[in-house]
Amino acid sequence: MKENIEMENIEMENINIKMTDSSPKVKLDYEKAFIEFEGKSFPENTFDFYEPIVQWIKNYFTEYERKTTTINIKLTYFNSASTQILFDIFDAIQDNKTNEVIINWYYALDNENGLDDYEDYSEEFEELNINAVAYAEEV
Amino acid sequence: MCKNDNLNLCLIIDENTIYEFNEKINEQSIIKSAKHIEKLLKDNDVKPNKIQDVFELLVEIMQNMLNYSFGNIDLPNNKKEAIGSFVLSYDSNDDEYVLKSCNLITLEQVEIITNKFKLIEGLDDKALRKLAREKMRSKEDNHDKGAGLGFIMMARKSTKPIATQFIPYKDNILQYKLSLVI
């Protein structure tokens, strides 16, 4: 069982990473309880790129989570290593969350296989109630 | 390090070929090829699901060649560079895209790849999905460049069984050919 630690004077650093041609924009904001990934994800060293991000998320959900957290996944293309990272992120959230988490999985309305990846994760992490959110144009 | 010329005749270029690549594979050339093909397909009004599959498989194939190549070299920042070729063809009769790659690999790498293919051989999408989940849970194949999920992803996205060939080249070096249909 998690300890109820008083963390009022300890701040967590927010992380903002700019989008590149092969890596997504990442926003990790603990004050706003907001996490977002947007763009393409196929960095050569995928695990190196995501290591601090996954660690931040683990810290956030084990020590800093105070209210409902919103997580937006707006990834258009991703490589197989990124599928493992998303799995690890959802796994960390499911294992550690104490409050409500709203997870929105964005997919292109005109993409026939847009829901395939969503289905894989939503079935595996049933407890997280991942929402599928269709968008008409490229995010 | 092998030369590009060694792979020049590795793949057949024909009238269906819409993109060919025969140079150094590194992070930048992967991005360049992926962007080029995305634009090419978008400009030709190809359906978004096809573009996604071609894009993701192209990246997977190129990163696969980067990881499994004879003579690949280490670059700064834990990056790699290798030599390889691939072609993307479009068959308008069957509305199919065919991605073919070719590079040189060692006997040791052949064994690794062959074992990975044995695991997925004959599996349908449901079984491939199950295997992917098991691998993601166990993390048993995680290494610094990937999660050991690349061939499963290729098999799931390819509409026909993945075709592979290992052709003796010299000593303990072989040509590794891979073909995927989307």
ipTM: 0.88
Best of A19, A41, A44, A120 to disrupt the B interface by mutation (most B CBs within 10 Å)? A44
Q: Where are the domains of chain A?
A: 23-135
Per DSSP, the residues of chain A read -------TT-PPPPEEE---SSS-EEEEETTTTEEEEEEEE--TTHHHHHHHHHHHHHHIIIII--S-EEEEEEEEEE-HHHHHHHHHHHHHHHHH--S-EEEEEEEETT-TTTTHHHHHHHHHTGGG-PEEEEESS--
Query: Strand, coil or helix: what is B9?
Result: coil
Best of B26, B31, B131 to disrupt the A interface by mutation (most A CBs within 10 Å)? B31
Query: Strand, coil or helix: what is B126?
Result: helix
Tens-digit pLDDT profile for residues B61-98: 999 999 899 888 888 888 888 989 999 999 999 999 99
The token duo for A112 is 């026939």
Binned at pLDDT 50, 70 and 90, residue B144 comes out as low
Q: Which domain holds residue B124?
A: 4-181
CATH number for the domain including B132?
Answer: 3.30.565.10
Q: Does A44 contact B35 at a Cβ distance shorter than 8 Å?
A: no
Q: Which CATH number fits domain A23-135: 3.30.30.60, 3.20.20.450, 3.40.50.720, 3.30.750.24?
A: 3.30.750.24
Nearest to B147 by CA among B167, B132, B162: B132
Q: Does B144 contact A45 at a Cβ distance shorter than 8 Å?
A: yes
Q: Which of A43, A77, A114 sits opposite B56 (nearest CB)?
A: A77
Number of domains in chain B: 1
Give, for B140, the enclosing helix (H) or strand (E).
none
CA A63 to chain centroid: 17
How many whole angstroms separate alpha carbon A40 and alpha carbon A37?
9
The token duo for B68 is 């499994």
Burial class (CB in 10 A: 0-12, 13-18, 19+), A95: exposed
Cβ-Cβ contacts under 8 Å for A11 (sequence gap 6 or more): none
Tens-digit pLDDT profile for residues A81-139: 999 999 999 999 999 999 999 999 999 988 877 788 999 999 999 999 999 999 886 54
pTM: 0.89
Q: Does B52 contact A76 at a Cβ distance shorter than 8 Å?
A: yes
pLDDT above 90 as % of chain A:
80
